[in-house]
């Protein structure tokens, strides 16, 4: 029992990291009613972007972190244009984008080096860029679609597989890590028998800053108002003159940036960056957004701390083998008793 304070500390900083991840999830879900199951892969790529900034560009960590965020954010926007937007409206731009994407994949995966590969990749990238621009500026779509609303989730699963595979191809299947000594490692004592490592403090601090920033964004800025409008009703928002596609892209950018931050921070905290690192946290993230209710940032944050603490305390005081079972049991319990989540509005969760 004397270990309780340490266990609490363990649970809190991890809850903070989980909150960062889950917020990105919740943003997209709140906006578009879409569960983006490629969020975990974005998180993973954020970690790798951070790693590349440090190892190949030689940046210090405080520069690599925003680098990771920007990279992951852009990746998320690309993902949205490739996987989600075509399910709403198909334009010639999106067709060009897909053509470029296929060429890019062919180049990356089908050939090993040489000018032919470089040419294919280059051509693919150029086409993708053209497609993105055309898609954005399109006045009239080719096709307005009404897709079954589980289709984006399924598309995101396919995207996730591709992203993980590309990471494996680029970085190998093994575990990589940030260089040692990138960040001070001696833990600070917080009292009797309680320690916290500097990186864990950083995670806590960055998470808090980003959470506050997100709240300000949603509540105080015009973009935030637009996001809330679209979340309420996309059609009405468009009628009001809101450029829905731009706002959606911005939301995905923020969502991806949050995931990228979480990825780089946790990659550093655990010394472990690998292509499959997104899958475990994604399942935990799913539980968080359901438990928290999808309609509020505060709800998601509280739920994240709850789940983080449950994981740690479950191992500490129940049994380490059943940690995940406890988390899913919580999920099912909440879904049964209060399906809108602990903080959600009782709207349309019942069939």
Site for other proteins in 52-81 (CB under 8 A): none
Give the closest residue to 13 by CA, choosing from 194, 186, 205: 205
Please list every residue from 100 through 119 that binds other proteins, using CB under 8 A: 102, 105, 109-110
Assigned token pair, 315 = 């191992």
| Longest pairwise C-alpha distance within the chain | 66
Would you say 172 or 213 has its CB closer to other proteins? 172
Residue 66 beta carbon to other proteins: minimum distance, rounded to whole angstroms: 23
Contact 103, 123 (CB under 8 A): yes
Q: Is 232 in the site for other proteins (CB under 8 A)?
A: yes
Give the closest residue to 307 by CA, choosing from 340, 331, 280: 331
Would you say 82 or 202 has its CB closer to other proteins? 82
Dihedrals phi, psi of 195, to nearest 5 degrees? -130, 155
Distance CA 222, CA 13 (A): 32
Element holding 196 (H helix, E strand): strand 194-196
Contact 13, 294 (CB under 8 A): no
348 alpha carbon, distance to own chain's centre: 25
Assigned token pair, 53 = 């900034």
Q: Which of 6, 91, 296, 300 binds other proteins (CB under 8 A)?
A: 6
- Choose one: 47-55, 126-134, 148-156, 203-211; the region binding other proteins (CB under 8 A): 148-156
Would you say 195 or 216 has its CB closer to other proteins? 195
- Choose one: 43-51, 123-131, 171-179, 210-218; the region binding other proteins (CB under 8 A): 171-179
Q: Which of 153, 182, 201, 217 binds other proteins (CB under 8 A)?
A: 153
253 alpha carbon, distance to own chain's centre: 10
Assigned token pair, 93 = 């731009």
User: What is the DSSP code (8-state) at residue 276?
Assistant: T
- Choose one: 59-67, 68-76, 249-257, 305-313; the region binding other proteins (CB under 8 A): 305-313
Q: Which of 149, 219, 221, 246 binds other proteins (CB under 8 A)?
A: 149
CB neighbours of residue 169 within 10 Å: 12
Element holding 144 (H helix, E strand): strand 143-144
Q: Is 315 in the site for other proteins (CB under 8 A)?
A: yes
What is the x/- site pattern for other proteins, positions 201-220, by CB under 8 A? --------------------
294 alpha carbon, distance to own chain's centre: 15
What is the x/- site pattern for other proteins, positions 285-304, by CB under 8 A? -xx--x--------------
Would you say 150 or 216 has its CB closer to other proteins? 150
- Choose one: 51-59, 116-124, 153-161, 209-217; the region binding other proteins (CB under 8 A): 153-161
Q: Is 272 in the site for other proteins (CB under 8 A)?
A: yes
Would you say 116 or 322 has its CB closer to other proteins? 322
Q: Is 143 in the site for other proteins (CB under 8 A)?
A: no
Assigned token pair, 25 = 């999830």
Q: Which of 113, 148, 191, 241 binds other proteins (CB under 8 A)?
A: 148
């Amino acid at each position: 029992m004397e270990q309780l304070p340490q266990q609490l500390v363990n649970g809190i900083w991890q809850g903070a990291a989980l909150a960062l991840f889950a917020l990105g999830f919740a943003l997209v879900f709140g906006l578009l009613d879409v569960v983006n199951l490629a969020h975990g892969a974005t998180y993973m790529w954020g970690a790798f972007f951070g790693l590349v900034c440090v190892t190949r560009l030689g940046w210090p960590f405080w520069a690599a972190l925003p680098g990771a965020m920007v990279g992951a954010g852009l990746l998320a926007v690309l993902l949205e244009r490739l996987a989600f937007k075509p399910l709403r409206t198909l334009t010639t731009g999106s067709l060009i984008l897909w053509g470029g994407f296929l060429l890019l994949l062919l180049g990356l995966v089908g050939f090993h080096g040489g000018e032919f590969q470089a040419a294919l990749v280059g051509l693919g990238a150029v086409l993708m860029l053209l497609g993105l621009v055309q898609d954005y500026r399109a006045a009239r779509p080719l096709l307005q679609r009404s897709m079954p609303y589980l289709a984006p989730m399924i598309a995101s699963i396919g995207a996730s597989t591709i992203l993980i595979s590309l990471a494996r191809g680029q970085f190998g299947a093994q575990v990589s890590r940030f260089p040692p000594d990138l960040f001070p490692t001696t833990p600070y004592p917080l009292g009797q028998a309680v320690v916290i490592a500097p990186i864990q403090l950083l995670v806590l601090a960055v998470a808090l800053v980003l959470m506050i920033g997100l709240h300000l964004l949603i509540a105080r800025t015009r973009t935030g108002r637009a996001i809330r409008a679209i979340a309420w009703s996309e059609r009405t928002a468009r009628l009001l003159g809101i450029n829905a596609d731009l706002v959606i892209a911005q939301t995905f950018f923020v969502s991806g940036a949050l995931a990228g931050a979480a990825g780089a921070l946790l990659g550093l905290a655990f010394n472990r960056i690998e292509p499959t690192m997104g899958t475990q946290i994604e399942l935990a993230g799913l539980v968080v957004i359901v438990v928290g209710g999808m309609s509020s940032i505060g709800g998601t944050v509280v739920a994240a701390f709850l789940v983080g603490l449950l994981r740690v305390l479950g191992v500490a005081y129940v049994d380490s083998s059943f940690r995940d079972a406890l988390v899913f049991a919580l999920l099912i319990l909440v879904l049964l008793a209060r399906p809108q989540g602990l903080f959600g509005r009782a709207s349309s969760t019942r069939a």
